[in-house]
Amino acid sequence: MGSITLDHVNKSFGGHAVIPDASLDIADGEFVVFVGPSGCGKSTLLRLIAGLEDTSSGTIRLDGVDVTDRGPAQRGLAMVFQSYALYPHMTVRQNIAFPLKMANVEKSLAERKVNDAARVLNLTDYLDRKPRALSGGQRQRVAIGRAIVREPKAFLFDEPLSNLDAALRVNMRLEITELHQQLKTTMVYVTHDQVEAMTMADRIVVLNAGRIEQFGTPIELYKRPANRFVAGFIGSPRMNFLEGAEAARYNAHAIGVRPEHISIAPAGGVWTGTVGVAEHLGSDTFLHVHVGNTLMTVRTEGENAFKHGDTVSLTPAPDRIYRFDRDGKTLNAPSLN
């Protein structure tokens, strides 16, 4: 079991509230991702759950039990750090066995658990090496191994993939998702990468300046963003925003259209502009189009003839236009299928 409840949690450093007031219910077995720009408080929130930071007020409950005043060692959670945080003076075997040693697990049982974890993570051949003799991906797997042997109530991941190169990151992303499907243990995962958030999460918490902007499934956040911040943060490339007269036509302070919801033609559309940069990815092409003073991104098929300097005409899908008020709140969720 591993449900996590935050009840009006506040964290302040010297009078400055990093987390003003966060309430959250994470169900047992859920994969929840905290996402937001750097400095939004997502790591602090995770560290509060871990017990590595003390709350200033509010309560944290694990499986309904108040653990606010318990130290990290007493919460029964496991954490994987961005820096891996392996013990450099211990072998891989000793690293993975460390939590079991701390819990006074009987030696032969501990050994079996370490071997099982090593097999699952493809580390069997490296058990007697020191961390410095491993690659980044292997180190990350050791860190995960150290977390899984003790069968924690929940796993906490603090940007675990950001030190890996792009190809490895995709692999590890799949491995962690697969691990979650196998173990069915609660996972809380912090990242600044919205692609990681969208692909891995059951539910996503979008944070901005210490506030929870929205908590929902990836598709909910994509289809029904609560406000302009979430609309801009979720989706890649990000949503285009227009203000002023164009927005006023839709009776809003600002409107937003995603790059994939704009069709492009040589003429006859709603907005006319000039192609600035065309990014060809093979499968798609991202066209950056200057419309007046606004730079709009349009996603089109991989092969198309538009190039720098072309005059083009853009048409938004009428049922995919998001409207925002002056405070950035979403005025409507467009009628979605």
Partner 1 sequence: MAHAASTQRKIGMTILAWVVALLLFFPILYTLITSLKTEGEAAAGFSLIPSFTLESYRDVLALRDYFRPFSNSVIISVGSTLLALVLAVPAAWAMAFTPTPRTRDVLMWMLSTKMMPAAGVLVPMYLIFLYTGLLDTLFGLTLILTLVNLPIVVWMLYTYFKEIPVDILEAARMDGATLGKELVYVLLPMAVPGIASTLLLNVILAWNEAFWTLRLSTTNAAPLTAFIASFSAPQGQFLAKLSAASILAILPIVLLGWFSQRQLVRGLTFGAVK
- Contact residue for partner 1 among 6, 49, 62, 79 (CB under 8 A): 79
200-259 residues in contact with partner 1 (CB under 8 A) are none
CA distance 46 to 186: 13
91-110 residues in contact with partner 1 (CB under 8 A) are 98-99, 101-103
Q: Rg of the chain over CA atoms, in angstroms? A: 23
CA distance 266 to 2: 55
> 116 or 243, CB closer to partner 1?
116
Burial of residue 199, with CB atoms counted within 10 A of its CB: 0-12 exposed, 13-18 middle, 19 or more buried: middle
What is the pattern of x (binds partner 1, CB under 8 A) and - over residues 22-61?
----------------------------xxx---------
- Contact residue for partner 1 among 27, 65, 73, 133 (CB under 8 A): 73
> 160 or 216, CB closer to partner 1?
160
Here the tokens at position 306 are: 């538009």
Longest Cα–Cα distance in the chain: 75
Minimum CB–partner distance for residue 148 and partner 1 (Å): 12
Minimum CB–partner distance for residue 153 and partner 1 (Å): 12
CA distance 54 to 76: 16
131-160 residues in contact with partner 1 (CB under 8 A) are 146, 150, 156
Residue 83 sits in the site that holds partner 1 (CB under 8 A): yes
> Residue 76, by phi and psi: left (phi above 0), alpha (psi -120 to 50) or beta?
left
How long a stretch of residues is the chain? Answer: 337
> 78 or 234, CB closer to partner 1?
78
Q: Partners of 285 in the beta sheet? A: 280, 300
Residues in the interface with partner 1 (CB under 8 A) total: 25
Residue with tokens 């029964």, as numbered in its chain: 76
Task: For 107-141, give one letter per residue: b (16+ CB within 10 A) or e.
Answer: eeebeebbeebbebbebeebbeebbeebeebbbbb
Minimum CB–partner distance for residue 49 and partner 1 (Å): 11
> 79 or 134, CB closer to partner 1?
79
Minimum CB–partner distance for residue 227 and partner 1 (Å): 34
- Contact residue for partner 1 among 7, 61, 70, 81 (CB under 8 A): 81
> 90 or 195, CB closer to partner 1?
90
Residue 71 sits in the site that holds partner 1 (CB under 8 A): yes
**DSSP 3-state of 124:** helix
Give the binding site for partner 1 (CB under 8 A). Answer: 50-52, 71-73, 77-79, 81-83, 85-89, 98-99, 101-103, 146, 150, 156
